[in-house]
Structure 1
Amino acid sequence: MYTEDDKALIVEAHLPRFDRKHITVDVDRGALVIQAERRDKDETKKRKHVVRESSSSYHRSITLLEQADERKIQAVFIEGVLKVTVPLTEGVASKRITIGSGAH
């Protein structure tokens, strides 16, 4: 996870052996949720077992910044890497708070 010129938050997930159809990207209550699940089925009649299954899964939930523009989130999946771009709106400038001495 990194920022791009403070204009976008970039989340990259390396998901080798997954196809795009196995991956979902959602925004749920202010969090970016990435899930992937794959099931492999090996049916071999020559062996004593009929079906051998294996599965792999991935799940990440990332709390988004207040400046995240959830309507403009984009995701691409290229060569096993999911790249999610979360545009950031200009936030309110920070304000320094003066610390008093505690005297009334």
Structure 2
Amino acid sequence: MDAVQVVAEPRRREILRLVWDEERSAGEIADRFDVTFGAVSQHLRVLRDAGLVTLRQDGKKRFYRADREALGPLAAYLQSMWADRLDTLAELSEAAERAERGEGTDT
């Protein structure tokens, strides 16, 4: 499976986002999802087999981190996608605050 196919799956993109800037344990990653640990583990395996995350084992714990170099041009695309989502969230939050204060959106 190529990198584009791997990151096409929404949960795997979310996993990449979680491990983009910092290493996280498999349990910490799984806690962020509403599916079983086994399901998250399978997604982590796909990401690892594609070379998109690195794995470090410390005793029984497994720690994952995104391998940005392996993502190549997809890394910039993912970062811009996440930034766009954050911008949209900020805009929605600001609109909700204005609505609570009774301010209109007309200028």
Scaled to the shorter chain, the TM-score interval is under 0.3
TM-score by length of 1: 0.28
Task: Please identify which structure carries the higher strand content.
Answer: 1
Q: Whose RCO is larger (CA < 8 A, sep 6+)?
A: 1
Q: Which has the larger radius of gyration?
A: 1
